[in-house]
């Protein structure tokens, strides 16, 4: 049995997230996948089964939500095959739907795990900040036609860097709630490029909708609805109800995973 690592790119617009719906992470639940729910994992496993003529279970570095994109999602799987990584990549790209692509395939050690071997991940959130919307960027960037104070947003971002309890930035979901909500944000930048504002965050791990909740807070600061220093109070509160609203999914993209 060989262990393979894939680097995937996908447009999340037409997917109900990464994970096959209804399967869950605990086989004791005994749920069958819901019909008609298109997921990245489901499409990839279906294509792998076609290529290898055997059922394949795929692991991912993290479960992207419905509408979230990936420029470099990492997945791993085990299979009995003599195919080379290059042959696997070519075969998958020939059969995967057009909104998915394998950027790289390689052999990895038997103990490599796409999720648990990861050291840090980087997400980028893109905001289209001008007075008129875009047809081309409608599913890639959050159209936000309000004046923003970027220096204030950058000051607020500094309060989120480092090791903190991010409970206030975790969306409520009993199935995805974490007992340990402490994470270390390595970097958080706010950069303007023309009409676009890119908010990029690197951390050793993320809670459910953590990045989108952080973006929502930074946008609130940018509009003057709260002061940068108030971010410290949000962290201290450890209560999602006191933080601003969640930014939409379609502006978010998983950019890299480091092992």
Is residue 195 annotated as a catalytic residue, yes or no?
no
Q: What is the mean pLDDT of residues 128-141?
A: 97
Is 102 part of any domain?
yes
132, two tokens: 């008129």
Pick from 108, 137, 158: which residue ends a domain? 108
Q: What is the mean pLDDT of residues 112-135?
A: 98
Indicate the pLDDT class of residue 178, thresholds 50, 70 and 90. confident
Instruction: Please give the pLDDT value at position 23.
Output: 53
Is 114 part of any domain?
no
Average pLDDT of the residues of the chain: 93
Indicate the pLDDT class of residue 172, thresholds 50, 70 and 90. confident
Indicate the pLDDT class of residue 22, thresholds 50, 70 and 90. low
Residue 27 reports pLDDT greater than 50: no
Instruction: Please give the pLDDT value at position 31.
Output: 39
Q: What is the mean pLDDT of residues 83-103?
A: 98
Q: The CATH number of the domain where 213 resides is what?
A: 3.30.70.660
The upper half-sphere exposure of residue 248, i.e. CA atoms within 13 Å in the direction of its Cβ, equals 15
Instruction: Please give the pLDDT value at position 179.
Output: 83
**82 with 141, same domain?**
no
Q: Number of structural domains, the chain? A: 2
**40 with 145, same domain?**
no
The one catalytic residue among 11, 55, 65, 165: 65
Please list the helix, strand and coil fractions of the chain in percent, rounded to the nearest 5, in that order. Answer: 25, 30, 45
CA distance linking residue 208 with residue 151, whole number of Å: 27
**160 with 218, same domain?**
yes
Q: The CATH number of the domain where 48 resides is what?
A: 3.30.70.580
Residue 217 CB contacts under 8 Å (≥ 6 apart), including other chains: 156, 169, 226, 231, 234, 243, 244
Instruction: Please give the pLDDT value at position 37.
Output: 85
For the four alpha carbons of 68, 70, 76 and 77, in that order, the dihedral sign comes to positive
CA distance linking residue 23 with residue 92, whole number of Å: 23
CA distance linking residue 151 with residue 153, whole number of Å: 5
With tokens 């209560």, the residue in question is: 239
**236 with 129, same domain?**
yes
- Phi, psi at residue 181, to the nearest 5°? -105, 15
* 78, β-bridge pairs: 3
Pick from 55, 76, 108: which residue ends a domain? 108
Give the closest residue to 246 by CA, choosing from 149, 173, 165: 173
Q: Which residues form the domain of 63?
A: 2-108
Tell which wins on pLDDT, 185 or 28. Answer: 185
Q: What single string gives the DSSP state of each residue in 87-129? A: HHHHHHHHHS-TTEEEEEEEEE-TT--TTTT--EEEEEEEEE-
**201 with 142, same domain?**
yes
- Interval 194-230: pLDDT, tens: 999 999 999 999 999 999 999 999 999 999 999 999 9
DSSP state for residue 13 in the 8-state scheme: G
**185 with 226, same domain?**
yes
Instruction: Please give the pLDDT value at position 175.
Output: 67
The upper half-sphere exposure of residue 165, i.e. CA atoms within 13 Å in the direction of its Cβ, equals 13
Instruction: Please give the pLDDT value at position 30.
Output: 36
Instruction: Please give the pLDDT value at position 32.
Output: 42
**206 with 253, same domain?**
yes
């Amino acid at each position: 049995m060989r262990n393979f690592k894939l680097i995937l790119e996908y447009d999340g617009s037409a997917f109900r997230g990464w994970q096959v719906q209804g399967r869950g992470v605990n086989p004791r639940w005994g749920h069958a996948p819901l019909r008609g729910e298109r997921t990245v994992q489901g499409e990839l496993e279906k294509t792998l089964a076609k290529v290898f003529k055997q059922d394949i279970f795929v692991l991912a570095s993290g479960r992207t939500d419905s509408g979230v994109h990936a420029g470099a999602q990492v997945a791993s799987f085990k299979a009995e095959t003599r195919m080379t990584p290059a042959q696997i990549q070519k075969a998958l790209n020939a059969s995967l739907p057009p909104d998915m692509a394998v950027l790289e395939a390689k052999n990895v050690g038997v103990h490599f795990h796409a999720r648990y071997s990861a050291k840090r991940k980087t997400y980028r959130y893109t905001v289209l900040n001008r007075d008129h919307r875009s047809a081309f960027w409608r599913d890639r960037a959050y159209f936000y036609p309000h004046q923003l104070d970027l220096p204030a947003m950058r000051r607020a971002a500094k309060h989120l860097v480092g090791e903190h309890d991010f409970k206030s930035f975790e969306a409520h979901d009993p199935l995805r709630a974490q007992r340990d909500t402490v994470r270390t944000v390595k970097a958080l930048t706010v950069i303007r490029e023309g009409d676009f504002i890119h908010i990029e965050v690197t951390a050793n791990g993320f809670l459910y909708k953590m990045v989108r909740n952080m973006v929502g807070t930074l946008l609130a600061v940018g509009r003057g609805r709260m002061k940068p220093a108030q971010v410290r109070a949000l962290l201290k509160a450890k209560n999602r109800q006191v933080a601003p609203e969640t930014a939409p999914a379609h502006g978010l993209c998983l950019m890299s995973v480091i092992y």
